[in-house]
Structure 1
Amino acid sequence: MYGEDLGLVARYSRELPLILGGGRVEQDATVLIGRVREMLEKAGRSGCSVVGLSVYRGSVVAWRRGEPLGGVVTWMDSRGLEEYSRLPPLARLASKTPVLGKALQPGSPALVIRRLWLSHPGARVWSVDGFLSDLLTGEFTSDPGQAALTGLISPYSLKPLASVIRLLGLGGLELPRLHFHDTPLSRVDGVAVGPMVADQQAASIGLGCLRAGCAKATLGTGLFIDAPLEGGLPLFTGDLIPVVNLALPGRVCYGLEGFAAGVGMVFDAFARVLGGFGVLEEKALEPGDPAPVVPVLAGLRTPYRPLLRGAVLGVSPGFTAASLAKGLILGTLLTLLTIYRELAGRVGGFRELRIGGGLSRLGLLASSIASAVGVRVYRSVDYNDSARGAALVAGYASGVVSRQDLLNPPVSLVEVEPLEGLRLSGVDAWLGLVDALASKDFWKRLEEIRRSSWER
């Protein structure tokens, strides 16, 4: 909850559990819609004048007449990889091209949409924002930022990618209407609800990072770094993802993004093993050599290594809890620097980096980042920047927030002091190591070992 001055008033959260098993990473779609309605009801009771919705991306659900036909297939699920092997030869060939490749690569939401649509002919299949829009308002709409990441809508024109739709055999798929970020509010159970915003794009808005020279890093479930662009998108973006941060009549704010999936979940798991985040930081400061950790659960997006999975490397006779904690910080730093360096090279560098998300509250990690990137680093006081960005968009659509405050909002930031004496020079070596771990042969052998161990 935010006040009229955009300052944080209160915070309330409910967990949406993951359902794991056999490479599947789902969430219960019925529980999801129930949680959202619960939040809207609480907002109404609390006297909120308008509610914003920030929605996680790359996750797909099928439904018919208001009823989900299964779980939400999240962005960490392996079904996109599986569906790629089933594509027609022409579609697989097109996935190697620079223009259409991102929409057809393993892990693209378009492949999951195809899989669910072929399993449920005639159903509506889309990312979570379309599902929520339909069930909450009765209108099948999508946020432009979300739609542009499905692989079926062009981020350049915000129109359907007819060639991709044809290659995937999705000619009969119903597409949602795009809901720009100035669209009038909807009434849901008596509460005024603003346009939806993709979570990472909402974080860029909430951190006031829509102008060139300011990079945004969200350290949450995944590690996402976004760089705003002046003007339009370049045609070729390499392993970086073109994104739509904000879509208004006459102005679309674009950016480039790189990410690593599951970094925050790795931290959560290690913190449980070590006895909490405080213990993790204490152990990382103890003497000892690090055992570098690859903090990736569902592939690396930048550079594009879809088969990469997490690993603990360099376990030696002197291995301790400190080795593990140091290795996690080191691996996360090197992963972040790999993405940051790619983005900086594309946009000509940065003046500052603004960080948010739950992991940004870890002082050692934040200070290590400040030492490594070579520019000023600021941490968000309100670390849930996606919620703040969604509130700003909803406020703008309702006339409560000015256009100036939407594009350049007041943000409470604290400058992060760098660690003295920290020098990182192993980024190139890290990339070589990642390539070895991300090879198809390595992944295949790892799966064979897992299956044989399970059978025994």
Structure 2
Amino acid sequence: MRIAAIDQGTTSTRVLVADEDGEVAIAHAVRHQQRHVKAGWVEHSALELLANVRACIDAAGTVDAIGLDNQGESCLAWDAHTGEPLSDVIVWQDRRTEAWIDELRALDAQTLTLERAGLPLDAYFSASKFGWLLRHNERVRASLASGSLRLGTTDAWFLDRLTGQCATDITTASRTSLMNLATSEWDEELCRLFGVPVECLPPIRATVGEFGHIGATPVTAAVVDQQAALYGHGCRRTGDAKITFGTGAFALALTGSQIVRVPDDGLLPTVAWQIDDEVTYAVDGGVYDASSTIEWASRLGLFGDLSEIERFDAPPAISRELAFVPAFSGLACPHWDRSAGALWLGMTGATTRAELCQSMLEGIAMSAADVIDAMREHVGVTDRLSIDGGLARNGYFVQFLADVLERTIVTRSFHELTAYGCAALAARGLCGRDGTLPDHDSDTLLFEPRRPAAMVREWRTRFTDAVNRAKRWR
């Protein structure tokens, strides 16, 4: 059994090839352009993403099945007859619908979205992006009038063009704010709220199942990238959790068959996956800006090579009253404040570039710790927390995260857990329960907390003060 997993992320597309003997390799990876055409707007070229997915499929060679993981909330419009994109991809980070969201919130529409979708009103989710396209894109409106409009997340676009089957999976649908979390179907009231014709949306399918064929090869799984990572980490029991530090930092903890609704703490109930008829739920909390913050610092010239920010001789910056809040795209869980602004506090004329970088790493870690704190009040997150992504390779960052969370952090030498989780789900779709790939749990590295609890509390209090100053800035 040889499986290809297409990992289509915010900054790149890659393909991992895995087999039942545990052999894995990235066969191809390619970055794509991020467009920031206006302040708060983030777009991708739909055709560029599709070309990159096709290149990855070609690079994988002969395989028995294909899995596809996607960005989640990123979405677009296209023509059902020609397959032509009618818009660019509006990326999950995009904030263009904030003013409209504020209007809906003033009308108490969030009561409906929390009740039906389990999600707060936020520009993050796909629903308002679809509504924006219908309001502002003439080609989209013309296609709707002619009866040929399709609206969907990127997975549905890829599947439509590659297999001829326009479909989305339940995990992705649960991130749109248009799916009723209890029924796993598109909700007509939510669609009316955002002005989205339900007939333009793709059918919702289980995560593991039939999504058509690319050539002769079946596509047997489709899933949001964060849920793929959760599966790739080996999380299967209630309370198992992971954080993936990619463009953003996203934590998920399994809640089993229970939908956990705690909007006051900023946590989002979501679908972890559906295999056969069994739906497994999770709670989700995110930090919008993680590795994107580090990339920004690199572009700014604060450091040259990543090795420069892997260790620091000075004590933690937060202990010296230098704090950074990573809110370039606003604050997500547990604050949900898109008007927040990124900031440094505590700089002096003697502050160095290294100290600024040190404080950035600490700010990302403490933002992630805020998310886990919110989760453990309701889920009982396990004492060992598994992480992956680029920042999981930074020893200073991981140790600081262990310190501020006061729990063991687990990293692995194998970092492609998102793609591997997608491959494991695709193997399950190909062969049923017998189609399992071995868990990649070898070569683990444990980081134990080593700072006094009183010191950590002081750091966290200082960071909370900084976060409060960043709120409602825009």
* Fold in common (TM above 0.5): yes
Could you tell me which amino acid in structure 1 is paired with residue 41 of structure 2?
R
Q: 1:417 aligns with which of 441, 447, 450?
A: 447
**2: CA distance, partners of 1:243 / 1:413:** 31
Determine whether 1:286 maps to 2:314: yes
Determine whether 1:221 maps to 2:247: yes
Q: 2:327 aligns with which of 286, 289, 296?
A: 296
Q: 2:269 aligns with which of 239, 242, 246?
A: 242
The aligned residue for residue 254 of structure 1 is 281
What's the Cα RMSD here? Answer: 2.4
1:81/1:107 contact within 8 Å kept? no
The aligned residue for residue 390 of structure 1 is 422
User: Share of identical aligned residues, percent?
Assistant: 24
The aligned residue for residue 364 of structure 2 is 332
The aligned residue for residue 41 of structure 1 is 58
**2: CA distance, partners of 1:235 / 1:257:** 11
Which residues of 2 match residues 10-25 of structure 1 at below 5 A? 10-22=26-38, 23-25=40-42
SS of the residue 2:382 aligns to: coil
**1: CA distance, partners of 2:37 / 2:348:** 31
**1: CA distance, partners of 2:186 / 2:167:** 14
| Structure 1 unaligned residues grouped into runs of 5+ | 444-456
1:403-456 C-alpha deviation (Å, 9 max, x unpaired): 7x47x94533513233644742233443343233121xx21xxxxxxxxxxxxx
Q: 1:95 aligns with which of 110, 115, 120?
A: 110
Which residues of 2 match residues 22-421 of structure 1 at below 5 A? 22=38, 23-44=40-61, 47-64=62-79, 65-85=82-102, 87=104, 92-95=107-110, 98-99=114-115, 102=119, 104-118=121-135, 119=137, 120-121=140-141, 122=144, 123-171=149-197, 173-184=199-210, 186-238=212-264, 239-272=266-299, 273=301, 274-282=303-311, 284-286=312-314, 289=320, 291-303=322-334, 304-399=336-431, 402=434, 405=436, 409-412=439-442, 414-418=444-448, 420-421=450-451
1:59-102 C-alpha deviation (Å, 9 max, x unpaired): 1111113111121100111123143256597xx32225642573
Could you tell me which amino acid in structure 1 is paired with residue 193 of structure 2?
L
2:210/2:220 contact within 8 Å kept? yes
**2: CA distance, partners of 1:88 / 1:181:** 32
SS of the residue 2:124 aligns to: coil
1:221 deviates by 0.7
1:217/1:225 contact within 8 Å kept? yes
The aligned residue for residue 446 of structure 1 is none
Could you tell me which amino acid in structure 1 is paired with residue 236 of structure 2?
L
1:178 deviates by 1.4
| Structure 2 unaligned residues grouped into runs of 5+ | 1-16
1:99/1:236 contact within 8 Å kept? no
- Name the one with the larger strand percent: 2
Determine whether 1:431 maps to 2:464: yes
**2: CA distance, partners of 1:30 / 1:185:** 21
1:34 deviates by 0.5
SS of the residue 1:415 aligns to: strand
1:152/1:165 contact within 8 Å kept? yes
Higher mean C-alpha deviation, range 238-247 or range 392-401: 392-401
1:380/1:413 contact within 8 Å kept? yes
SS of the residue 2:78 aligns to: strand
TM-score, normalised to structure 1, is 0.88
SS of the residue 2:207 aligns to: coil
SS of the residue 2:368 aligns to: helix
